[in-house]
Structure 1
């Protein structure tokens, strides 16, 4: 087992953080372009939101494939090849002739982007000593937020200068360069024990995870929280693109720098878990997310940015705790247990537009905040239940 803070630990953690960065730069690059794409294709906010939703939904579906498959054939090859495919599809997106083709390519890209998230935490569980795993998960999830920030910045800046096709080309080039480094850094697996893949056994594992209340609670908490968090950003791009703000794609991309609050939250999660139980950290994260949403109701751009930064801190704190909770409480088949968490996580993201759209139509941003609080109240109840059920 790889011991924490050793050279091997840092190399493996850096590789997985880089892979995570590449996944999320691809997934979120189109988000600041949504208002522009809506105008370009003459479609509704609900329709243009599919650019994000089809990718996250197909990513969620792919986790059901890659997670169990990794328990049978190993995890490293899946991560390497799917990252390579994601970079190639970014280049293909630049050549999409119409909106329908764009959606098909985004769905394919979402599927291959699921390869690394499906197995990375399971890889850590196989290779890292338990104390080292918790710290590595925090850094890995912090890289999620850095990738999300970078994707939106590149998407917004390049899109405003040269159009959406140029954005996809830029992201594809960055990805292929990063994959070459990832390929070199990731060490060979030494703690992995292969299990022959059997469909019946894989389904039984998934069913077993769903019957475990400690896992199911974490799955629901992660999925519902992400439904709210990520889709708030989409609706904020529409709010900030209109009067009185009138922000363009490059500035909208910079709004996602507030994700740095999430980088801090996930990075501090390991330290906080030394003082509070993981469920208590989840409760704290959700309360912070609810408070940040309240601040975004202000009419000042500075306060909106502050609220988003607070939201990111709270969300990623809760997410880091919930995802590591799954790794620690899965009784068997860690790969499929971690993958199932992410199925709920990304399914939530893909469904968020359908939940929040009626609130947006009825009450604009105040409606989105109200819809957010309703579901965050549910996840707060789940976290409190976990706290009572498993206080340590």
Structure 2
């Protein structure tokens, strides 16, 4: 064999994991478990918010802090994790984060009062920060670019499954044993998911931790990303998508617990089974973005969210369930596309880019999620719907800017 032919064979060898390989399957199983543990723990409090309002005698906006305290701290922890990602061992930090968050869920279940519960939830947000930013960075580095959309979609699918399971199981367990049993049960599942993750995740092949990095070395990629022609619009999209989605999920439970519906916690939690559609949407739309381009799929995602919002306006339970389903599909489609777009657009410093995206994403959950409580208290469901509609209109404008940039490059 000639030297030139040997070189061609070597150059053609994929540097990352490809679909169908054993390492690709193991990575997807591990990161599915990571997504499940993170989001089942994070969002298990959403169906419990009416119970918090009743048991602690607090308003819906204050009750929403049980989620916002976690996502607000998580946003900045993710940012720091992304900032330091070039010097952090991916698997070791993600494993430690999963174990710590499961432990804090159990601690929250034994909180003696509202202040202690919020403190435990805030610490849990800090613990969870090591997972999402590094998961996205890991996939961007270890998966072949042509298969990245599918892998990212499967990771988001694990997040969707965790979000659904946390909400549904918390509602059922709360009806049987109260909110403490619900939160503690989710923590126990977190320990199982952490064990699966540690056993299955392949070690990084395309990443070597850089030692002795100066602070300027971390901030230089951030400044570059913020000057990028498209990335800031992508960060804004994450803020708007997450803020809209969490606001609907935070306060739909209050609406369904009141007349004319008067549903139980189990019934409210059961409605969130439609979250399973997010699993399908993430995988399907991830592949569609690989095939047809990310911008058109993002437009379709916002259109689905808007249609779902309209369906939820009448006092009809079937229409509300349909609306939640459409909004969920649209959200996970948009998030799958946006998160998978960050890595390819970032010119180096992919961990920092992922950290900036997730900072905006979880600030949307924290800030807009709590702001929705003010609209709920003042104007009811129409106030929440009006706020979300305005956010989605801004999302359309952000997507138009992304499409304009894409047409020039």
TM-score past 0.5 threshold: yes
Q: Is the 8 A contact 2:230 2:401 kept in 1?
A: no
Matches of residues 239-278 of structure 1 in structure 2 within 5 Å?
A: 239-278=255-294
1:27 corresponds to: 42
Q: Which has the larger radius of gyration?
A: 2
After TM superposition, the structure 1 stretch with the greater mean CA deviation from structure 2, 254-263 or 158-167, is: 254-263
Q: Using the alignment, how far apart are the partners of 1:191 and 1:215 within structure 2?
A: 24
1:93 corresponds to: 108
- Return the offset for 1:274: 4.4
SS of the equivalent of 1:390 reads helix
1:130 corresponds to: 145
- Return the offset for 1:275: 4.5
2:61 corresponds to: 46
Q: Using the alignment, how far apart are the partners of 1:214 and 1:243 within structure 2?
A: 46
After TM superposition, the structure 1 stretch with the greater mean CA deviation from structure 2, 250-259 or 224-233, is: 250-259
Runs ≥4 residues deviating over 4 A: none
Q: Does 1:198 align with 2:214?
A: yes
1:74-132: CA deviation from partner (whole Å, max 9, x where unpaired): 21111000000011111111111000000000000011112110110110111111112
SS of the equivalent of 1:273 reads helix
Match of 1:179 among 190, 194, 212: 194
2:174 corresponds to: 159
Q: Does 1:311 align with 2:335?
A: no
- Structure 2 residue ranges without an equivalent (≥5): 1-15
Q: Is the 8 A contact 2:36 2:193 kept in 1?
A: no
1:20-66: CA deviation from partner (whole Å, max 9, x where unpaired): 11000100111111001100000111111100100000110101221
Q: Is the 8 A contact 2:50 2:253 kept in 1?
A: yes
1:146 corresponds to: 161
Q: Using the alignment, how far apart are the partners of 1:211 and 1:285 within structure 2?
A: 26
Q: Using the alignment, how far apart are the partners of 1:171 and 1:354 within structure 2?
A: 23
SS of the equivalent of 2:84 reads helix
- Structure 1 residue ranges without an equivalent (≥5): none
Matches of residues 108-127 of structure 1 in structure 2 within 5 Å?
A: 108-127=123-142
Q: Does 1:380 align with 2:379?
A: no
1:285 corresponds to: 301
- Return the offset for 1:308: 0.6
Q: CA RMSD in A?
A: 1.3
Q: Using the alignment, how far apart are the partners of 1:178 and 1:317 within structure 2?
A: 24
Q: Is the 8 A contact 1:25 1:147 kept in 2?
A: yes
- Return the offset for 1:190: 1.1
Q: Using the alignment, how far apart are the partners of 2:394 and 2:371 within structure 1?
A: 14
Q: Using the alignment, how far apart are the partners of 1:283 and 1:188 within structure 2?
A: 36
SS of the equivalent of 1:195 reads coil
Q: Is the 8 A contact 1:5 1:132 kept in 2?
A: no
1:168-202: CA deviation from partner (whole Å, max 9, x where unpaired): 22111111122112110011111103233322221
Change (3 A) 1:64 1:274: closer
Q: Does 1:69 align with 2:84?
A: yes
Change (3 A) 1:343 1:274: closer
Q: Is the 8 A contact 1:4 1:131 kept in 2?
A: no
Aligned length in residues: 392
For normalisation by structure 2, the TM-score amounts to 0.93
SS of the equivalent of 2:230 reads helix
Q: Using the alignment, how far apart are the partners of 2:231 and 2:246 within structure 1?
A: 22
Match of 1:83 among 78, 86, 98: 98
Q: Using the alignment, how far apart are the partners of 1:274 and 1:105 within structure 2?
A: 40
- Return the offset for 1:205: 1.9
1:353 corresponds to: 369
For normalisation by structure 1, the TM-score amounts to 0.97
Q: Using the alignment, how far apart are the partners of 2:126 and 2:34 within structure 1?
A: 15
Q: Using the alignment, how far apart are the partners of 1:26 and 1:358 within structure 2?
A: 25
After TM superposition, the structure 1 stretch with the greater mean CA deviation from structure 2, 348-357 or 93-102, is: 348-357
Q: Is the 8 A contact 2:256 2:263 kept in 1?
A: yes
